[in-house]
Structure formats: C-alpha cells, structure tokens
Amino acid sequence: MKPGRFITFEGIDGAGKSSHLDAMAAWARERGHDVVLTREPGGTALAERLRELVLHAPMDALTEALLVFAARRDHLVQLIEPALARGSLVLCDRFTDASFAYQGGGRGFSLEVLGRLEDWVQQGRQPDLTLWFDLPAATAAQRRGAVRAPDRFEAQDLAFFERVSAGYAQRASAAPERFARLHAQGERPAVWAEIQDVMRTLAWW
Ligand code: TMP
C-alpha cells in the first residue's frame, strides 16, 4: 500500500490556489492515488458549522483561534487521520499555516498560544508538503475584486493582508523543508508548471 500523504494549499485570499486543487486532484487520480479533497475551516459536518461562525459571527481573537483549532481537531480525527491511515492522498485547502498567517499575522494574536494549540490539537501531525501561493497583497486584492457579501476576512484592508503575507513568509522560513513557494502572480499555466516541477522532484510519484 502507498503511504498516505498530506498536502496543504496556502495563500492569501485571491491567490488562485483553489483552481489548482481540482487540477491536482485529477492529476493524482490519473496516477492511481485515492484522493481526498477537503478544506479548512471545514471538511466535516461539525467543522463546517464552525466555519460559518468563524467567517460571519463577530468574535474576539482568542475565540476565533479556539474555533479554528476546534474545527481542525474534528477534521483531523474524523477525516484526515483515517484517510492517511488508509494510504490516501489528502489535499487540503488551508491548514494551520493559515492560523499563524491570519490569526497571528493578520489579527496580531499570540504566536506562542497558537503554537501551543498546534501541539495540542495535532499531536505532531504536519503536512508532508505545503504549496504556498505567494503574490503581492495588492495584486490579490485586485483579483478578488468587489465581493458582494464579503466575509470577516475578505472585508479586511490591504494592511491586514500584508500582515497575513508576512505571517506566511515567517512560517515558510521556519519550515523550508515542507514549503514550496509558488510565484502566484503568474498566469495560471505558469503556476501549474511550477506545481508540476515540485511534484516531479518528490519521490512519491
Ligand atoms: P476560504 O475557504 O475562502 O479560503 O476562506 C476561509 C477563510 O478563513 C480565509 O479568509 C482564511 C480564514 N482562515 C483563518 O483565518 N484561519 C484558519 O486557520 C483557516 C484555516 C482559515
């Protein structure tokens, strides 16, 4: 049996990661992988309910951090860990790096507390690979355009997303063996070619 693998997709809103998730799922299925496509916050019935609250209900920064990690705990226990144990390839739209980038960078919430939640909730589980769709916050804002009913994150200003980007950069420099930085301001086929290069360099395929 092939070992399970856990790949996360990260980047600020408007970085274009979601369209590549589907392409990656199709690419991996063609190569015989059992693929589980999921997202955070979310991925289970309970975590999807928590997602609604995190995206739309006013709350303080600690509550927000606790809810994203509560959703993550349920997601890990119910879906991610069983899928990895079966040998599946788990492709996840955002994971804990988003908490460090959005709650830590964007909101300015304690990185130390986030680190403790990470240890507590994940018990050592980390992605095998994180594809980081990096692009200037101003370019991402143009791509997002005017969202009709923005959620609590989409409604933030450019300075917030610049702090989120800096949060991602900090996480990437702390775990360079896990992160692949993609030049996400490029055209879609160029970004896809970068992803293919990353996948080719891994021995898993
Ligand atoms: P998305 O599914 O459209 O990417 O929206 C999810 C939003 O939630 C996005 O703006 C980032 C935010 N988020 C956090 O603030 N913390 C987290 O831990 C995660 C996973 C997402």
d(CA 190, CA 182): 10
Residue nearest to atom 3 of ligand 1 (CA): 13
What's the domain range around 22? 5-200
135/148 Cα distance (integer angstroms) = 23
Helix axes 137-144, 158-174, angle to 10 degrees: 120
The pLDDT tens digits for 13-69 are: 999 999 999 999 999 999 999 999 999 999 999 999 999 999 999 999 999 999 999
- Work out how many domains the chain is built from and give that number: 1
Radius of gyration of the chain (CA): 16
159 in a domain, yes or no?
yes
- CA–CA separation, 134 and 99 (whole Å): 16
Q: Is residue 170 part of a domain?
A: yes
Encode pLDDT of 81-121 as tens digits. 999 999 999 999 999 999 999 999 999 999 999 999 999 99
User: 31 in a domain, yes or no?
Assistant: yes
Q: Flag whether 108 is in a domain.
A: yes
Report the residue among 9, 50, 102 best suited for mutation to probe ligand 1: largest number of ligand atoms under 8 A from its CB: 102
Q: What is the pLDDT of residue 118?
A: 98
Question: Would 169 be classed as within a structural domain?
Answer: yes
CATH number of 86's domain: 3.40.50.300
Q: Which are the contacts of 34, defined by CB distance < 8 A and separation ≥ 6?
A: 86, 87, 88, 89
In a domain, 205, yes or no: no
CA distances from 118 to 22, 25, 93, 112, 138 (A): 27, 27, 17, 10, 30
Q: Is the CB of 97 under 6 A from ligand 1?
A: no
